[in-house]
Chains A and B, each alone.
Chain A
Amino acid sequence: MTTTTPLGAPAPAGERPLAAAPPGRSRRRGPGLLFVLPFAVPFVLFLVWPVVQGLWMSLTDSSLALRDTSFVGFDNYAEAFGDPDVWSSLGNTVFFTAVSSVPLVLVALVMALLVHSGLAGQWVWRLSFFVPYLLPVTVVTLIWTWLYQPDVGLGNELLGALGLEPVGWLSDESVAMWSVAALTVWWTVGFNFLLYLAALQSLPTTYDEAAALDGAGAWRRLWSVTLPQLRRTTVLVAMLQILASLKVFDQIYILTKGGPNGSTRPLLEYVYDVGFTGYRLGYASAVSYVFFALVIVVSLAQLRLFRQED
């Protein structure tokens, strides 16, 4: 029938080998290409095309301001590898990924274990930990800009109450990225928490019960039974988290615009800075593809590790 042939070329009826199909189930029947088309068209238009066009743009001097561009070969890539700002923003991205991913996994695990222990007030805990994840990034940054406000923000008020010096949460180069990471943990840990919680709830309880019967204490069972069973989940959560952290842009852009003095600028913000602020879309594409290469490498490395785990 029509669905077996490409769009616009209905097969002649005689070609349908209906008789060859097993009686119970027609192998040749089923939804056709037209089911896929409404997805395939925007997919090609807004994903495949940009991927290809971005690659092409990275080989040109395409500009935001001028419509005529010329091919420049690998000049943009050569410039990118020699551009100290590419390296420093890459360094910032890696640093952020390190200091955000670890607590995002560990705190989520602790939260999930505590909530899973069956204490009363389940929905309160879940609400407290997960709701920040539902907030738009700007809401989060507005709230935290206020917490980090240097004079009367909660952060410095707390330090003052403890008799400590105020901190330049967002203005001190050595502190700002940590402040961003703290915000990020607060904002997104709820997601990992839910993944852990779901994993805990699907664990079979038999091992735990057996260990309890053998007289193993709570700590002992946590270390020897529960955590090992969560190994696979942890690997998954960590992998997803690292990829997510590498893609950081939104909260940093809104919170610090990459400052002070570029100390929090991630690679993706550098793409924005050179591409849109600096008009050089071609160069920005090249930097994007350097970033893409990094993401691919990390993904493949993770995949390898994960395969070895299994």
Chain B
Amino acid sequence: MSSSSPAHEASAAPGSGPAPGIGRRRFLRYGTAGAGALLAMGPLAGCSSLASASGASALSVWDLFQGGDGMLMDDMIKAVSEGPDGFEVDRTILDWGPSYYTKLAMSAAGGRASDVAVLHLSRLAGYAPGGLLDPFDLDLLAEFGVTEKDFTPAVWSRTKHQGAVYAVPLDVHPFIVFYDKDAAAEAGLLDPKGELAPMGSPKALLEAGKALADVTGKSGILFGHVTDTAQNWRQFAALYAQTGAAFTLPDGGPAEIDTDAAVRVVSFMQQLFDGRTNPNNLDYNSALAGFMGGRGGMAMLGEWELPTLQKSGIKLGAAPFPQVFDRPAVYTDSHSFVLPHQDSPDPARRREAHRYVAQILKQSLTWASAGHIPAYQPVLAEPAYAELKPQASYADAGKVAVLDPPNWFAGAASNFQNRMCQPLQSALLGNTSAEKAVRQMVREANTLLRQPNPVA
């Protein structure tokens, strides 16, 4: 390092001070030795990492799937890695939630992001407008056998920003109900085909809860929400959409929310989780454990809990979130593939990225075993999918899909969902009234809307 170079510069003429020129050159050399150390990092800056020296050609893909989903994604990647056209994939998994989305945005802002990443479709409004994503080339996708008509309009319409397609949906993953088929049969809730009969009114669902509680001797409908940052919002958003009212978040505010409808929904949630036919103070894991232990006849959960629930030995049924208000609606989200922004994308790699997305979509049947509804419709049409039980029972949920209102701060794992959950939790725990909770939600939404939009 720098301090070693001057060692053999001991030849200054004795007796006289070094001539200015010589001395100065020495010092410059001395200084440049230090600068040289910095410059030595030029190559380091250029080559991206110790790792990429070996696997520079591998396609880097990012996702947030752990546990059951994580292992299924491993299987799908393995499947598309085989054969002469197989991909070399370098997969990175980050923690589900804000930490994933923060890193995704920071890497895209830095311009050296991964080749492909997974994004909840509900978050597109926070990524596409700010230039954090690059659009897909639809011709290229079509070349690999994926086109718009392979998706339902409800989902496809959310993949666009200013006409360009920024996301290719892998799945639709609704918030649904799981039920114990034996308990439901005993409570008289099944239709002749053995599926959950439609509810049709708030009263019907409340009575179903009572009937299930009587049968199990414990609880009717289980729902975990305490300290959860999404469950209450999912529940609310599903029911609110069923009233037909709009929930719009225009930049600058104020939020357009039908407070009467919202109060009706929150009051109903309070009735549904009244602490009598079920404990109203469960957190997510206790509700899950309670249902698996047979201490409840029904549980309101995301379909992604299917693999876990299947291990319980319960005779498991599933259905789209029951319609109790005016129209059918199911709260949902969609894991989608996106191309994080790269400053200078290599066209050949981009092409491979498109091909990879198309190939993975065709593996969606594997993905469906986790409970997710494949977004790629040709897979839904396969007979093998119809045989998946109970997945086939809620396949239609995708058609009445309702996602978060599009806004840069909304979507899965967002601050918005978290803030909506707090007043709802208070209402369900009986600490506040439905009216106050709704007023609080409107206030929170307006606070978020007043922030300057950092992506537009």
Q: Are A2 and B27 in contact (CB under 8 A)?
A: yes
Of the candidates B23, B38, B132, B452, the one having the most CB atoms from chain A within 10 angstroms of its own CB is B452
Partner of A65, one of B21, B97, B102, B130: B130
Q: Are A1 and B18 in contact (CB under 8 A)?
A: yes
**What is the chain A residue whose CB lies nearest that of B425?**
A261
Q: Are B99 and A257 in contact (CB under 8 A)?
A: yes
Find chain B residues with CB under 8 A from A171 CB.
227, 283
C-alpha spacing A171/B226, complex, angstroms: 11
Distance of A31 from chain B, by nearest CB (Å): 9
Q: Are A276 and B106 in contact (CB under 8 A)?
A: yes
Q: Mark A248-273, 1 if CB is under 8 A from B, else 0.
A: 00000000010111000000000011
Distance of A262 from chain B, by nearest CB (Å): 9
C-alpha spacing A260/B422, complex, angstroms: 12
Distance of B22 from chain A, by nearest CB (Å): 9
Q: Are A10 and B20 in contact (CB under 8 A)?
A: yes
Find chain A residues with CB under 8 A from B20 CB.
1-2, 10-11, 13
Supposing A65-B131, A65-B454, A278-B454 touch, asked if A38 and B23 sit within 8 A by C-beta, the answer is no
**What is the chain A residue whose CB lies nearest that of B341?**
A65
Distance of B320 from chain A, by nearest CB (Å): 30
**What is the chain B residue whose CB lies nearest that of A12?**
B20
Partner of A279, one of B17, B97, B454: B454
Q: Are A64 and B98 in contact (CB under 8 A)?
A: no
C-alpha spacing A293/B449, complex, angstroms: 28
| Interface residue range, chain B | 35 or more
> Which of B28-36, B57-65, B330-338, B374-382 contacts its partner?
B28-36
Q: Are B454 and A64 in contact (CB under 8 A)?
A: yes
At the interface, yes or no: B455 with Cβ under 8 Å from chain A? Answer: yes
Judged by DSSP, the binding face of A is loop
Supposing A38-B34, A64-B106, A257-B99 touch, asked if A279 and B227 sit within 8 A by C-beta, the answer is no
At the interface, yes or no: A66 with Cβ under 8 Å from chain B? Answer: yes
At the interface, yes or no: B187 with Cβ under 8 Å from chain A? Answer: no
Partner of A261, one of B2, B17, B28, B422: B422
Q: Are B31 and A65 in contact (CB under 8 A)?
A: no
| Interface residue range, chain A | 35 or more
Distance of B183 from chain A, by nearest CB (Å): 27
At the interface, yes or no: A63 with Cβ under 8 Å from chain B? Answer: yes
Supposing A34-B31, A37-B31 touch, asked if A280 and B454 sit within 8 A by C-beta, the answer is yes
Considering only residues 124-180 of chain B, those with a C-beta below 8 Å from chain A are 126-127, 129-132
Q: Are B27 and A63 in contact (CB under 8 A)?
A: no
Partner of A63, one of B34, B130, B415: B130
Supposing A2-B27, A279-B455 touch, asked if A261 and B227 sit within 8 A by C-beta, the answer is yes
Find chain B residues with CB under 8 A from A35 CB.
27, 30
Q: Are A279 and B130 in contact (CB under 8 A)?
A: yes
Find chain A residues with CB under 8 A from B452 CB.
61, 72, 280
Considering only residues 1-23 of chain B, those with a C-beta below 8 Å from chain A are 2, 17-18, 20-21, 23
Supposing A10-B21, A38-B31 touch, asked if A65 and B132 sit within 8 A by C-beta, the answer is yes
**What is the chain A residue whose CB lies nearest that of B127?**
A65
Considering only residues 1-52 of chain A, those with a C-beta below 8 Å from chain B are 1-3, 10-11, 13, 18, 29, 32, 34-35, 37-38, 41-42
Q: Mark B31-63, 1 if CB is under 8 A from A, else 0.
A: 100110010000000000000000000000000
Find chain B residues with CB under 8 A from A277 CB.
98, 101-102, 105, 415
C-alpha spacing A280/B31, complex, angstroms: 39
C-alpha spacing A259/B456, complex, angstroms: 30
Considering only residues 68-121 of chain B, those with a C-beta below 8 Å from chain A are 97-99, 101-102, 105-106, 109
C-alpha spacing A83/B58, complex, angstroms: 45
At the interface, yes or no: B451 with Cβ under 8 Å from chain A? Answer: yes
Distance of B190 from chain A, by nearest CB (Å): 35
Partner of A257, one of B98, B227, B455: B98
Q: Are A260 and B31 in contact (CB under 8 A)?
A: no
**What is the chain A residue whose CB lies nearest that of B456?**
A66
Q: Mark A50-61, 1 if CB is under 8 A from B, else 0.
A: 000000000001
Q: Are B451 and A280 in contact (CB under 8 A)?
A: yes
Find chain B residues with CB under 8 A from A3 CB.
23, 27
Distance of B28 from chain A, by nearest CB (Å): 7
Q: Are B30 and A278 in contact (CB under 8 A)?
A: no
Q: Mark A263-303, 1 if CB is under 8 A from B, else 0.
A: 00000000011001111100100000000000000000000
Q: Mark A65-87, 1 if CB is under 8 A from B, else 0.
A: 11000001000000100000000
Distance of B61 from chain A, by nearest CB (Å): 22
Of the candidates A34, A63, A277, A283, the one having the most CB atoms from chain B within 10 angstroms of its own CB is A277
Considering only residues 238-282 of chain B, those with a C-beta below 8 Å from chain A are none
Distance of B225 from chain A, by nearest CB (Å): 12
C-alpha spacing A259/B227, complex, angstroms: 9
C-alpha spacing A25/B218, complex, angstroms: 94
C-alpha spacing A63/B455, complex, angstroms: 7
At the interface, yes or no: B367 with Cβ under 8 Å from chain A? Answer: no
Distance of B384 from chain A, by nearest CB (Å): 37
Find chain A residues with CB under 8 A from B130 CB.
63-66, 279
Supposing A61-B452, A66-B455 touch, asked if A276 and B27 sit within 8 A by C-beta, the answer is no
B residues bordering A, Cβ < 8 Å? Answer: 2, 17-18, 20-21, 23-24, 27-28, 30-31, 34-35, 38, 97-99, 101-102, 105-106, 109, 126-127, 129-132, 227, 283, 408-409, 415, 422, 451-452, 454-456
18 A-B residue pairs with Cβ-Cβ distance under 8 Å, sorted by A, are A1-B18, A1-B20, A1-B23, A2-B23, A3-B23, A11-B20, A41-B35, A42-B38, A61-B454, A64-B454, A65-B127, A65-B131, A261-B227, A273-B98, A276-B102, A276-B106, A278-B409, A280-B451
Beyond A3-B27, A65-B109, list 16 extra A-B contacts (CB 8 Å).
A1-B17, A2-B20, A3-B23, A18-B17, A34-B30, A35-B30, A38-B34, A38-B35, A41-B35, A64-B130, A66-B131, A79-B451, A259-B227, A277-B98, A279-B105, A280-B451
9 smallest beta-carbon distances between A and B, as pairs: A65-B130, A38-B34, A63-B454, A34-B27, A279-B454, A277-B102, A10-B20, A2-B24, A65-B455
